[in-house]
Structure 1
Amino acid sequence: MSNHTAVITGSTAGLGAAFARQLAAQGYDLVLVARDGERLRMQAESMASQYGVDTSVIVADLVTDDGVAAVQERLADRTNPVHLLVNNAGHGLATEFIDSDLEDERKLLRLHVQTTMELTHTAASAMVRRRGGRIINVASVAGYTPTGTYSAAKSWVINFSKGLHSQLRSRGVTVTALVPGLVRTEFHQRSGIKITAVKRWMWLDAEDVVRQALTANAQGASTCVPARSYQVLTAGLRFMPDSMVQWAVDKRTGTPEQDSDSGPQTPGAIETAKVGASRGLEYGTGDGTAEPTTEAIKTVNAYKTAKAKNSAKGSTTRESQPPTE
């Protein structure tokens, strides 16, 4: 048995599977959590055989109270403490809010927000008692854009993790929000989300993302944004008002209310906004202060031009109407 144990939710695919491989390679014993019991047990056997670590599984649906309670019980075990929790389980929705089933919306928030909060509370309480521990909450740069329920949930994860990091770092516990970009995983396929017209460089490798996340967490960082390219591109979002970000999103998704001649489509910042608009995508952004990029400035200018054109069009329409009695 290792001196360290990691609990990973959503471990059988994508980032969760990459976390399992890399932590096992570091010598961590693993507690793997997912809904698919057969796949979960196959993964546990593979990790134990390949890396010589102890593995156990918790078959649990984390949108249910019973499923969450089963993981909480393991996190609270004082005789076999957990040193690292990775809250990775998640999914997106392929439909816009008003077209989604309300129960599906509830489950999304349950999984990304309430479950993350409950598991983090249990793990952090145990870690504080021991004066040591680490937590990684998988978020998304969608949390920086106003694009629906998924982005709202990920915004909560980012701010929750950053706030908790500030509260607990002096007590020996590091909490890190992982904010990845588009990652080559099963996430979009399982969520029924189609990805089109995305630049090749925008896709990130799961192993690279996890490697950077573990490094940032070990170094005590509150956030981790993998890939310098995403950091540079999304830095421009911090200099744009919400209305401008929403304009770029609507421009790329073809929202009916948008005028097709409302301004030029520029690459860079608008391209980044387009990615966030795809209803529940995982992608990354920077967390530091940066100067506005050239493409961000172009986006600002395009937005101003569109706004002025729409304003002028509205004025012309009003002038052409006959006076009322």
Structure 2
Amino acid sequence: MRWTMAREGKTSSPPILVLGSSNVDFVLKVPRFHQPGETITAETMVTAFGGKGANQAVASKRLGGAVRFITKLGDDPYGQLYRRYLVRMGFDPRGLLQQRGCPTGMAWIELDRKGENRIVVSPGANKGLIERDLERLSGFWRNVKVFVTQMEIPLSVVRLGLEAARSRNVLTLLNPSPPVRLPRDLLSLVDFLIPNEWEAQLLSGGKMTNEREMRGIAEKLLRMGARGVVITLGERGVFFKDSESEMRIEAFRVKAIDTTAAGDAFMGGFAVALAEGKPIREGLRFASGAGALATTRLGAQPSLPRRRDVEALVSKR
């Protein structure tokens, strides 16, 4: 079995704290998505480290962020291998928790020839992350400027993380994936709610077939409590709206082969930009460049780009 590794970046910017999942990804490249009851043969298969939390932590680190990561792995061989990998990258081992008697989270990812994906996740140890785990790691909040989390861990832990961040005046980024019903009091803790197009529709209950409807969905998410909304639109770019302004960022044109980690690379890029004090427009462009480059390689973490490559892409436009 061949594993590929993302390498860490170096920075002097304020720390980013990522709270989230870690999965082992089994990626199957298929000629097309199969129908119910149909068996097809995969063209290739790659095993790689993934999970939204880990992807976003690694993305931030590769883009130059000072990153702290809290996650929970199983006590199986996959978990042991994953933990060693993250420690070698420079993540503090105290945040790499272990759930006894539980497998590491896993994801099965089908990719068609257009680079589109279908994903099934088995949470494993991720669902064992509890509030007490976060409370025991209170030292991880020291000097943190940006907090990042997602929905592949229990909602109670997401809430506690957001509450802890808000009490410390830390910027909060929530990637609502996979989407679940989010109460208003939780959304009020979110500075930047960052769904993709499909997630934004599910969260708002609206349809997005044109610019007017997209703006309406963003406005509804703001009314639901979020302070700012960033909707990622794939090859159509990014839409941002808060109570004072809105903007549209065009996508960078690349040859996409795997879109699995595009959203996670975007999250990492935006977190790094905010930690460095960049304006929102500049941060969204940097994040968009990271997301675009992440589609040009197979696998989640193996595809996460280096800072110099993102800066080179962004500087061309």
* TM-score, with structure 1 as normaliser: 0.38
Per residue, is there more helix in 1 or in 2? 1
The structure showing larger relative contact order (alpha-carbon pairs under 8 Å, at least 6 residues apart) is 2
In our comparison, the structure showing a higher alpha carbon Rg is 1
Per residue, is there more strand in 1 or in 2? 2
* TM-score, with structure 2 as normaliser: 0.38
